[in-house]
Amino acid sequence: MKITDLRCALIGKHPIVRIVTDEGLHGLGEVEYTKPYLKPFVLQFREALIGMDPTDVERCMVRIRQRGSFKPYGAAVSAIEHALWDIAGKAANVPVYKLLGGKVRDRVRVYNGSLRRRSSGSRPEDYAADVKYMMDLPEQFFMVKQGIGFHSAMKRDIPDFHYGLAQPSHFHGAMDTGLISEHAFNHMLECVAAMKEVTGDRVSLALDCGPGWMLPDAIRFARAVDKYNLMWLEDMLTGDYVPFVNPQAYRELTRASSTPIHTGEQIYLRNNFKELIETQAINVVGPDPADVGGIAELKWIAEHAHMHSILMAPHGTANGLLGLGALVNVCATLPANYIAFEYPSASDPWWLDIIEGLPEGRLVNQSMIELFERPGLGLDINAEAARPYLAEEDALFFT
């Protein structure tokens, strides 16, 4: 089997990768809707892959892996990797998890991820109401994650929230950073107390915190919330769209508190998790299969973390509804350090009408998703249903 074409089209706002072969099989991969500008970045790899056997996934990846980078530029490489695995599974007539060593679980656990609502404000009662909304969802999530501090509107809503640098809010990925004021610090603690009053010990609570914190603030906050038994504090020092890792600072934070510390969604490749894991700098790693370089990359990181007693909770909202297949297949194969992945949902309601392979009824039940048993990654796009959402320049995408 040979690759005859690598295509990328915008379906809605999502760049979708489609690899075409001379045997009629195709594979699909999805890039997050916030990254439509990555379409030409995907297409730069076309000449490197045409003529290759797509079922030799690693051989193909060796040709292109070094051209990716930290979020967002690992997304193009990752989506191509997903499409290659999709073809490999279809060619073998098995789900991809069979090619990754086989499943160790029949269902995969998820948490709320993109199932949330726009908050009505940054007061403690607003945070309590938002958490109650997520707890009451029919998916019955075992855990909910809420943004706070620099990863929330709080940095705009609370006067004099911090003394550092404020960035324009309209630019996706812009990062505020600086020392947090005492009154803002205390306000955050009041919001945590209000949320825990709602969740009790029935539903776990994780906080998405940044990035942007100074290390002294991060240590003080982690110590102050120790009593609440939070699932984790995420991305306090580095994180979303930060193109570097800071293991030494994370190790100081992790050693200072019993509250688990989590990071990793923006990190590209196993190499950049090495020091975080081997120096016990964090308690939970959170690579995203749509940014880290693909599902094989994520599995390697999970296994390395497991050997060092570090937990695994993959980021997932960058995957979209089609990319859910990649998350489900790889998480079915992960070792016992796997907690749950962040559940992505449809960016527009019509995605539910164009995706083939989703089970009937609710996809998540009691916080769990049943494995997809169709060959490949288990999900596909109905070409006819998707055509109205294609840009005119991409009219030949499905031919």
pTM for the whole structure = 0.97
The predicted pLDDT at position 316 comes to: 96
- Confidence band (pLDDT; 50, 70, 90) for 171? confident
What percent of the chain lies above the pLDDT cut of 90? 94
Tell whether the model's pLDDT for residue 168 goes beyond 90. Answer: no
> For the packed helices 57-64 and 75-92, what is the interaxial angle rounded to 10 degrees?
160
Residue 265's nearest CA partner among 276, 254, 253 is: 276
Mean pLDDT calculated for residue range 137-143: 98
Q: Measured between alpha carbons, how far is residue 16 from residues 85, 132, 397 in Å? A: 15, 35, 10
What percent of the chain lies above the pLDDT cut of 70? 100
The predicted pLDDT at position 170 comes to: 74
Render pLDDT for 260-281 as a digit per residue (tens, 0 to 9). Answer: 999 999 999 999 999 999 999 9
Burial of 344: CB neighbours in 10 Å, binned 0-12, 13-18, 19+:
buried
Render pLDDT for 115-130 as a digit per residue (tens, 0 to 9). Answer: 998 888 999 999 999 9
356 neighbors 381 (Cβ within 8 angstroms): yes
CB atoms under 10 Å from CB of 134, counted, come to 22
Tell whether the model's pLDDT for residue 226 goes beyond 80. Answer: yes
The predicted pLDDT at position 172 comes to: 79
The predicted pLDDT at position 392 comes to: 87
Both tokens assigned to 200: 């009790």
Residues of the chain with CATH 3.20.20.120: 99-376
Tell whether the model's pLDDT for residue 169 goes beyond 80. Answer: no
Q: Measured between alpha carbons, how far is residue 376 from residues 38, 94, 124, 138, 357 in Å? A: 24, 6, 45, 29, 11
**Positive or negative: CA dihedral 76, 81, 82, 88:** positive
Residues of the chain with CATH 3.30.390.10: 3-93+382-394
Q: Is 375 helix (H, G, I), strand (E, B) or coil?
A: coil
When the candidates are 3.30.1330.10, 3.30.70.3400, 3.30.390.10, 3.40.50.20, the CATH number that belongs to 3-93+382-394 is 3.30.390.10
N-terminal to C-terminal alpha carbon distance within the chain:
18
The predicted pLDDT at position 333 comes to: 98
Average pLDDT, the chain: 96
286 neighbors 263 (Cβ within 8 angstroms): yes
265 neighbors 273 (Cβ within 8 angstroms): no
When the candidates are 3.40.50.1470, 3.20.20.120, 3.10.440.10, 3.30.43.10, the CATH number that belongs to 99-376 is 3.20.20.120
- Confidence band (pLDDT; 50, 70, 90) for 23? very high
Could you identify the residue written with the tokens 């004021």?
181
The predicted pLDDT at position 119 comes to: 84
- Confidence band (pLDDT; 50, 70, 90) for 391? confident
Tell whether the model's pLDDT for residue 289 goes beyond 90. Answer: yes
249 neighbors 263 (Cβ within 8 angstroms): no
The predicted pLDDT at position 127 comes to: 97
The predicted pLDDT at position 300 comes to: 98
Q: Is 250 helix (H, G, I), strand (E, B) or coil?
A: helix
287 neighbors 265 (Cβ within 8 angstroms): yes
The predicted pLDDT at position 315 comes to: 98
Mean pLDDT calculated for residue range 89-93: 98
Mean pLDDT calculated for residue range 128-142: 97
The predicted pLDDT at position 118 comes to: 82
Beta strand 14-21 with 26-30 is antiparallel
Render pLDDT for 364-382 as a digit per residue (tens, 0 to 9). Answer: 999 999 999 999 999 999 9
Q: Is 309 left (phi over 0), alpha (psi -120 to 50) or beta?
A: left
Tell whether the model's pLDDT for residue 136 goes beyond 80. Answer: yes
